[in-house]
């Protein structure tokens, strides 16, 4: 029997500092997260410099918490995994430096993990048995909205991506338009529950016959103009006359529900096209913060049922950025002895 592989995962690509201990790629022994939302809220978005500094402060306590909750010592670890791409470069570097220092000083392997591919793995955490591969995958997060095919053992190939905003970014920006605090995705989801999805017919981007790409900027602008009116004036003098304060709570809920309906329809349509194109797919793997959405979840369940594939939709704790998904995906490489050098670096971008 090979050792189960007890891996410490580290995640710091954006504004969550996270560490987790996962055994055998599936058994999550701990999943510690320190969020920075309070630091970025007043800027309506993540400020990279503030994020890197906060990662520096949070990293050691979060790693300690992950080890103590798991009841594991550093000496009991078999490898260190780190999300080293893509993301904010200053933030990534904090996680990568921590992982390198730990792996080198302990003399154990280091494994760099693609953060987006790790989101695809998040629905497999805690599962017994084999993953339903090959599969179609969907990542819907604050920074990415992409479709993948995933083959054995876990090779993800991008087959569609957003051409402008990510789905989570659109949720957050529309939430701001409606006067909700950042990051407004979850609050917009809540507000939409009191609204009518057919109150406004917002556009659902198609991008041509059979395209697997997404676009959310037209939808976002349509909501902006519906809430605040069309711009008055031209060029740099143009301004919007209205504000979200012009609308009642019921009317705001209608905007939220109608936007959410259009965004979710756009996402689900593309998933269906991807599954039609890949009839060999056994599974549908979902990841990213937006898959916590209360309407998207049942819509994806229906799609998976209709298309006859096994759905892997992560529980709430693994939808948002976390390190359990990093340690989990790293185990696929750990099992085959595929490790990185201690000179591993971070990369802000990746092609897939």
Q: Which residues bind ligand KG4 (CB under 6 A)?
A: 14, 141-143, 168, 171-172, 183, 185-186, 189, 288-290, 292-293, 320-321
Residue with tokens 């594991």: 72
> What burial class does residue 187 get, using C-beta atoms within 10 Å of its C-beta: 0-12 exposed, 13-18 middle, 19+ buried?
middle
CB of 264 to ligand KG4, least distance (A): 9
CB of 321 to ligand KG4, least distance (A): 4
Q: Of 119-148, which residues contact Zn ion (CB under 5 A)?
A: 141
Reference 321, options 111, 144, 97, 57; nearest CA is 144
Three-state secondary structure call for residue 90: helix
Q: Specify the residue, 79 or 227, whose C-beta has the smaller distance to ligand KG4.
A: 227
Q: Specify the residue, 88 or 226, whose C-beta has the smaller distance to Zn ion.
A: 88
Radius of gyration of the chain (CA): 21
Q: Could you say whether residue 17 binds Zn ion (CB under 5 A)?
A: no
Question: Are the CB atoms for 24 and 332 separated by under 8 Å?
Answer: no
Q: Quick one: what does residue 85 bind among ligand KG4, Zn ion, none, with the CB cut-off 5 to 8 Å set by partner type?
A: none
Q: Specify the residue, 98 or 141, whose C-beta has the smaller distance to Zn ion.
A: 141
Q: Quick one: what does residue 328 bind among Zn ion, ligand KG4, none, with the CB cut-off 5 to 8 Å set by partner type?
A: none
Q: Phi/psi at 18 (nearest 5 deg)? A: -135, 145
Q: Specify the residue, 172 or 254, whose C-beta has the smaller distance to ligand KG4.
A: 172
Tell me how many residues contact Zn ion (CB under 5 A): 2
Q: Specify the residue, 171 or 255, whose C-beta has the smaller distance to ligand KG4.
A: 171
CB of 34 to ligand KG4, least distance (A): 13
Which tokens sit at 261? 């309906």
Which tokens sit at 277? 């194109």
CA distance 201 to 300: 22
CB of 231 to ligand KG4, least distance (A): 26
Reference 65, options 19, 28, 2, 99; nearest CA is 19
Reading across the β-sheet that carries 16-23, which strands appear in turn? 27-35, 16-23, 6-11, 79-85, 110-114
CB of 189 to ligand KG4, least distance (A): 4
Among 11, 172, 254, 321, binds Zn ion (CB under 5 A): 321
CB of 183 to Zn ion, least distance (A): 12
Cis peptide before 216 (omega within 30 of 0): no
Q: Specify the residue, 117 or 261, whose C-beta has the smaller distance to Zn ion.
A: 117
Where along the sequence are the contacts to Zn ion (CB under 5 A)?
141, 321
């Amino acid at each position: 029997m090979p050792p189960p592989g007890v891996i410490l995962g580290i995640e710091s690509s954006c504004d969550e500092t996270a560490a987790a201990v996962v055994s055998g790629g599936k058994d999550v022994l701990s999943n510690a997260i320190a969020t920075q939302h309070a630091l970025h809220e007043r800027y309506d978005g993540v400020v990279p410099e503030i994020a890197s500094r906060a990662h520096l402060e949070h990293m050691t306590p979060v790693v300690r918490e992950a080890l103590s909750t798991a009841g594991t010592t550093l000496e009991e670890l078999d490898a260190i995994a780190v999300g080293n791409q893509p993301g904010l470069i200053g933030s990534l570097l904090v996680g990568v430096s921590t992982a390198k220092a730990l792996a080198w000083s302990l003399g154990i392997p280091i494994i760099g993990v693609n953060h987006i591919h790790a989101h695809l793995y998040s629905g497999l955490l805690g599962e017994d048995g084999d993953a339903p591969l090959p599969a179609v995958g969907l990542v819907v997060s604050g920074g990415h909205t992409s479709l993948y095919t995933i083959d054995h053992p876990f090779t993800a190939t991008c087959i569609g991506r957003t051409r402008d905003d990510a789905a989570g970014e659109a949720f957050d920006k529309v939430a701001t338009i409606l006067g909700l605090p950042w990051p407004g995705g979850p609050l917009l989801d809540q507000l939409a529950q009191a609204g009518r999805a057919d109150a406004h017919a917002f556009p659902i981007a198609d991008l041509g016959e059979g395209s697997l790409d997404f676009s959310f900027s037209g939808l976002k602008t349509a909501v902006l103009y519906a809430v605040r009116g069309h711009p008055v004036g031209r060029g740099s003098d143009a301004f919007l006359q209205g504000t979200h304060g012009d609308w009642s709570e019921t009317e705001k809920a209608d905007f939220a529900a109608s936007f959410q309906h259009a965004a979710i329809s756009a996402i689900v349509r593309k998933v269906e096209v991807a599954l039609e194109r890949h009839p060999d797919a056994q599974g549908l793997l979902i990841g990213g913060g937006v898959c916590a959405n209360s309407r998207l979840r049942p819509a994806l369940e229906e799609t998976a049922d209709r298309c006859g594939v096994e759905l892997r939709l992560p529980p709430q704790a693994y939808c948002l950025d976390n390190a359990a998904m990093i340690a989990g995906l790293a185990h696929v490489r750990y099992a085959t002895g595929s490790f990185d050098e201690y000179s591993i670096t971070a990369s802000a971008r990746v092609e897939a």
